[in-house]
Structure 1
Amino acid sequence: MTAGGPVLAVDQGTSGTKALVVCPERGVIASGSAPVRPRHLPGGLVEVGPGELLASVLDAGREALDRAGEPVAAVGLANQGETVLAWDPVTGEPLTDALVWQDRRAEPLCAELAAHADELRDLTGLPLDPYFAAPKMAWIRRHRTRRGVVTTSDAWLVHRLTGAFVTDAATAGRTQLLDLDSVTWSERALALFGLDGEELPRVVDAAEQVGTTDAFGAELPLTGLLVDQQAALLAQDVTEPGSAKCTYGTGAFLLAQTGERPRRGGSGLVACVAWRLGGRSSYCLDGQVLTAASAVRWLTDLGVIKGARDLDPVGSAVPDSGGVTFVPALAGLAAPWWRGDARGSLTGLGLDTTPGHLVRA
Structure 2
Amino acid sequence: MTGPVLAVDQGTSGTKALVICPERGVLGTGFAAVRPRHLPGGLVEVDPGELYASVVEAADRALAEAREPVTAVGLANQGETVLAWDPDTGRPLTDALVWQDRRAESVCAELTDHAEELRELTGLPLDPYFAAPKMAWIRRHLTADGVVTTSDAWLVHRLTGAYVTDAATAGRTQLLDLDRTSWSPRALDLYGLSGERLPEVVDVAGPVGTTTAFGHAIPLTGLVVDQQAALLAQRVTEPGGAKCTYGTGAFLLAHTGDTPRRGSSGLVSCVAWRLGGHTSYCLDGQVYTAASAVRWLTDLGVIKGATDLDPVGGSAPDSGGVTFVPALAGLAAPWWRGDLRGSLTGLGLDTTAGHLVRALCEGIAAQVTELAEAAALDLGEPLSVLRVDGGLTRSALLMQTQADLLQRPVEVSALPDATALGVGALARLGTEPGLTVAEALPDWKPSSVYEPRISADEAAARLAGFRREVAALLDRGPT
Q: Same fold (TM over 0.5)?
A: yes
Match of residue 122 from structure 2? 124
Q: Which secondary structure does the structure 2 equivalent of 1:208 belong to?
A: strand
Match of residue 286 from structure 2? 288
Equivalent residue for 1:6, pick from 4, 7, 19: 4
Match of residue 330 from structure 1? 328
Query: 1:185-224 alignment to 2 at 5 Å?
Result: 185-224=183-222
TM-score (norm 2): 0.74
1:44 aligns with 2:37: no
Between the aligned partners of 2:234 and 2:309, the Cα distance in structure 1 is 27
Q: Which secondary structure does the structure 1 equivalent of 2:285 belong to?
A: strand
Query: 1:151-166 alignment to 2 at 5 Å?
Result: 151-166=149-164
Equivalent residue for 2:100, pick from 93, 99, 102: 102
Identity value in percent: 82
Equivalent residue for 2:232, pick from 227, 231, 234: 234
Counterpart code for 2:154 = W
Please list every run of 5 or more consecutive structure 1 residues that lacks an aligned counterpart in the other structure: none
Q: Which secondary structure does the structure 1 equivalent of 2:286 belong to?
A: strand
Counterpart code for 1:305 = I
Match of residue 75 from structure 1? 73
Counterpart code for 1:60 = A
Q: Which secondary structure does the structure 1 equivalent of 2:88 belong to?
A: coil
Counterpart code for 1:104 = R
Q: Which secondary structure does the structure 2 equivalent of 1:93 belong to?
A: coil
Between the aligned partners of 1:258 and 1:311, the Cα distance in structure 2 is 34
1:316 aligns with 2:314: yes
Between the aligned partners of 1:272 and 1:191, the Cα distance in structure 2 is 21
Residues 117-150 of structure 1 show CA distances to partners (whole Å, capped at 9, x for unaligned) of 0000000000000000000000000000000000
Residues paired across the two proteins, number:
359
Match of residue 65 from structure 1? 63
Between the aligned partners of 1:37 and 1:324, the Cα distance in structure 2 is 31
Between the aligned partners of 2:33 and 2:297, the Cα distance in structure 1 is 18
Between the aligned partners of 2:47 and 2:65, the Cα distance in structure 1 is 27
Deviates more, 1:23-32 or 1:130-139: 23-32
How far residue 360 of structure 1 moved from its aligned partner, in angstroms, is: 1.3
Counterpart code for 1:308 = A
Residues 303-356 of structure 1 show CA distances to partners (whole Å, capped at 9, x for unaligned) of 222211122222222222111110011111111110111111111111222222
Match of residue 53 from structure 1? 51
Match of residue 350 from structure 1? 348
Q: Which secondary structure does the structure 1 equivalent of 2:330 belong to?
A: coil
Runs of at least 4 residues of structure 1 off by over 4 A? none
1:303 aligns with 2:298: no
Residues 256-288 of structure 1 show CA distances to partners (whole Å, capped at 9, x for unaligned) of 111111111211011000010001111111111
Counterpart code for 1:224 = G
Q: Which secondary structure does the structure 1 equivalent of 2:143 belong to?
A: coil
Between the aligned partners of 1:353 and 1:152, the Cα distance in structure 2 is 44
How far residue 234 of structure 1 moved from its aligned partner, in angstroms, is: 1.2
Q: CA RMSD in A?
A: 0.8
Q: Which secondary structure does the structure 2 equivalent of 1:65 belong to?
A: helix
Equivalent residue for 1:247, pick from 238, 245, 248: 245
Match of residue 271 from structure 1? 269
Match of residue 428 from structure 2? none
Match of residue 379 from structure 2? none
Residues 203-246 of structure 1 show CA distances to partners (whole Å, capped at 9, x for unaligned) of 00000110011111111000000000011111222111122111
Between the aligned partners of 1:184 and 1:142, the Cα distance in structure 2 is 25
Match of residue 23 from structure 1? 21
Between the aligned partners of 1:300 and 1:35, the Cα distance in structure 2 is 18
Between the aligned partners of 2:195 and 2:185, the Cα distance in structure 1 is 9
Match of residue 148 from structure 1? 146
Match of residue 405 from structure 2? none
Counterpart code for 1:300 = T
Residues 30-71 of structure 1 show CA distances to partners (whole Å, capped at 9, x for unaligned) of 111111111111000000110111111111111011000111
Residues 81-104 of structure 1 show CA distances to partners (whole Å, capped at 9, x for unaligned) of 000000000000100000000000
Counterpart code for 1:250 = T
Deviates more, 1:186-195 or 1:305-314: 305-314
Match of residue 92 from structure 1? 90
How far residue 357 of structure 1 moved from its aligned partner, in angstroms, is: 1.6
How far residue 19 of structure 1 moved from its aligned partner, in angstroms, is: 0.7
How far residue 15 of structure 1 moved from its aligned partner, in angstroms, is: 1.0
Between the aligned partners of 1:302 and 1:98, the Cα distance in structure 2 is 27
Between the aligned partners of 1:162 and 1:302, the Cα distance in structure 2 is 43
Counterpart code for 2:10 = Q
Between the aligned partners of 1:4 and 1:189, the Cα distance in structure 2 is 41
Higher normalized helix content (fraction of residues): 2
Between the aligned partners of 1:94 and 1:302, the Cα distance in structure 2 is 34
Between the aligned partners of 2:84 and 2:233, the Cα distance in structure 1 is 31
